[in-house]
Structure 1
Amino acid sequence: MSKLDISVVIPLYNEEESLPELVEWIKKVMDTHGYTYEIIMVNDGSTDRSWEIINQLAKENQHIKGLSFLRNYGKSAALNVGFREATGTVVITMDADLQDSPDEIPGLFKMIVEEGYDLVSGWKKKRYDPITKTIPSKLFNYTTRVMSGIKLHDFNCGLKAYKNKVVKTVEVNGEMHRYIPVIAKWEGFRKIGEKTVQHRARKYGMTKFGLERFIYGFLDLLSISFVTRFRKKPMHFFGTLGSLSFLAGFIMALYLIGEKLYYIHVLNQLPRRDIVEQPLFFLALVALIVGAQLFLAGFMAEMTSLNHPNRNDYHIEDRCGRAQTPELERT
């Protein structure tokens, strides 16, 4: 089977009102430009009629693949499974709430195919969000730019385009969907671009994310920064900290011993306080113990496999449309 031009991956949770309109809009764009395509809709454990509607849409449109999780795993899990299923030369992700415009698809496709980008991230330069969401978002994006070295304005934009080999290489777990550009860069995909895209006001329902996502986002940034630098060499991190701590404790211990010997052999008198009565002794002891523990943690991390074969396995409850006989299976 020849490869399709575009795979559109849509993770969704309780978006029953917007799905028919979104599918019709995508179909119109694809037909207008003559693209061969598939729409992969991943139902992330919705509690409304989303899965029922996806089933109906799949019967009406042969381009639709439907996947439904047994429960809500999160956006990262939905994207990871969608990436696994995608067969298009270009893979485009977008949210299901109609805030991402399918009219942006041709421009994103062109940047990947004609301009050679590995990944293109949307930038919602003009946003229709409250200030309680935009201000934390600006801070979050600034921090991510500084720590990752990737010059993007909107890391969390759901509208992105990828070469197929990018989505087959990266693995997204936990809440790391915000940092796919960072993961892709770590995997060796360096040509990362940005495109200003239209941001639309939410038409149906309400947002599924609260302010807590920015707290989780900061913690995820620390996690991904650590993983990208030390995943294959944890001893470099733990060993360095452990060695520095152990060295500091050893120097303090030598100082205390040297001080006692100085009093005894040079001044011919006992020190005013015994070694174990000085606060520096306890600091030295703690530094030595912590240093040894960090060093051992480094060895244990080196011996522990981070590539567990089941860490990205999710329980798919049902399939519909073309997803009933998946062409790609995880190896």
Structure 2
Amino acid sequence: MSISVVIPAYKEEENLKTLLPQIKKYLTLAGITHEIIAVGPLTDNDNSKQVCQNSGCIYVNRENGDTYGDAVRTGIKAAKNEYLLMMDADGSHAPKDILHLYAAITTPPRHAYDLVIASRYVKNGQTQNLFILKFMSYILNITYRVAFKINAKDISNSFRIYDAVKLKSLKLTCSNFDIVEEIIILLVDKFNAKIKEIPTTFHKRINGASKRNLIKFIFSYIFTMFKLYKIKIQNRKNGTKK
């Protein structure tokens, strides 16, 4: 049982200096076979590549575009191991929680879950975000959960571990952070995915500024919700799942 840790990283050199050694420490001490992949921009804009090399990690540039969605697709393509864990590069996701996610998805019986989510909204879960971001996240999660009948409370947190084979089979099209919702919607629609949530604390960014544009963030989620709902209805009419 092995894990690929994929980290989309855009101008996150300083945060990677802190994050990568911690991830390696926890995985190595636990004796877990692993690879750590940081996905940079199309053209390097800081020294993240060197930071990865110094830490014994893999660095790849995004393919086909420079959006967050391109980073996620590139990381999924590059991953080689049985399980794939996605996390942010800004320090908001605690490296020690990787072990809890890995334990949850690998505990016998094997493949009992298709993905495990580090959740802010189950018992003992927390978030350090500002109130406006908490409120937006709460509304977003309720809306998507009801519209797509997803049995999970936190479908917008990217900190998750997946069955890599099933994740790689998806045709992902979203460009922005809405690809996080697209993944879970397609997994549920295609595989009737079995989901588990474990509590986590979403921390404040360590260094640098957020890459999320609030207005773009809102409209992309609204557009994606209608696009994916339309696809889901069409698939049901055709009697297929994609």
Distance 1:156 1:101 in 2: 17
- 1:162 corresponding residue in structure 2: 162
CA-CA distance at 1:29 after TM superposition:
0.5
Other structure's SS at 1:153 match: coil
Distance 1:69 1:107 in 2: 29
The correspondence of residues 137-216 of structure 1 with structure 2, limited to 5 A, is: 137-175=137-175, 176-179=178-181, 180-212=183-215, 213-216=217-220
Q: Give the helix-richer structure, 1 or 2.
A: 1
Q: Residue 226 of structure 1 aligns to which amino acid in structure 2?
A: K
Long gaps (5+) in structure 1: 237-306, 308-331
Q: Residue 179 of structure 2 aligns to which amino acid in structure 1?
A: H
Other structure's SS at 2:14 match: coil
How many corresponding residue pairs?
229
Contact residue 181 and residue 192 of structure 1 kept, 8 A: no
1:98-152 Cα shifts (integer Å, max 9, x gaps): 1101111111112211152101122123211111211111111100010011122
Against the structure 1 CA distance between its residues 47 and 53, is the aligned structure 2 distance closer, same or farther, given a 3 Å change threshold? Answer: closer
1:148-200 Cα shifts (integer Å, max 9, x gaps): 11122221112000012122212222234122111101111421121111211
Contact residue 52 and residue 59 of structure 2 kept, 8 A: no
Residue 217 (1) aligns with residue 224 (2): no
- 2:41 corresponding residue in structure 1: 44
Residue 77 (1) aligns with residue 80 (2): no
Select which of 102, 107, 111 maps to 1:114.
107
Distance 1:70 1:117 in 2: 30
- RMSD, aligned α-carbons: 2.2
Q: Which has the larger radius of gyration?
A: 1
Contact residue 41 and residue 66 of structure 2 kept, 8 A: yes
Contact residue 17 and residue 51 of structure 2 kept, 8 A: no
Other structure's SS at 2:231 match: helix
Contact residue 62 and residue 70 of structure 2 kept, 8 A: no
Long gaps (5+) in structure 2: none
Contact residue 79 and residue 172 of structure 1 kept, 8 A: no
TM-score (normalised: structure 2): 0.86
Distance 2:49 2:17 in 1: 8
- What percentage of aligned pairs have identical amino acids? 24
Select which of 26, 30, 42 maps to 1:29.
26
Distance 2:71 2:44 in 1: 16
Select which of 5, 9, 23 maps to 1:8.
5
Select which of 74, 91, 103 maps to 2:96.
103
Against the structure 1 CA distance between its residues 76 and 65, is the aligned structure 2 distance closer, same or farther, given a 3 Å change threshold? Answer: same
Other structure's SS at 2:127 match: coil
- 1:57 corresponding residue in structure 2: 52
Residue 123 (1) aligns with residue 127 (2): no
Other structure's SS at 1:38 match: strand
Other structure's SS at 2:161 match: strand
Against the structure 1 CA distance between its residues 145 and 60, is the aligned structure 2 distance closer, same or farther, given a 3 Å change threshold? Answer: closer
Distance 2:200 2:45 in 1: 29
Against the structure 1 CA distance between its residues 79 and 117, is the aligned structure 2 distance closer, same or farther, given a 3 Å change threshold? Answer: same
Other structure's SS at 1:226 match: helix
CA-CA distance at 1:94 after TM superposition:
0.1
CA-CA distance at 1:215 after TM superposition:
2.4
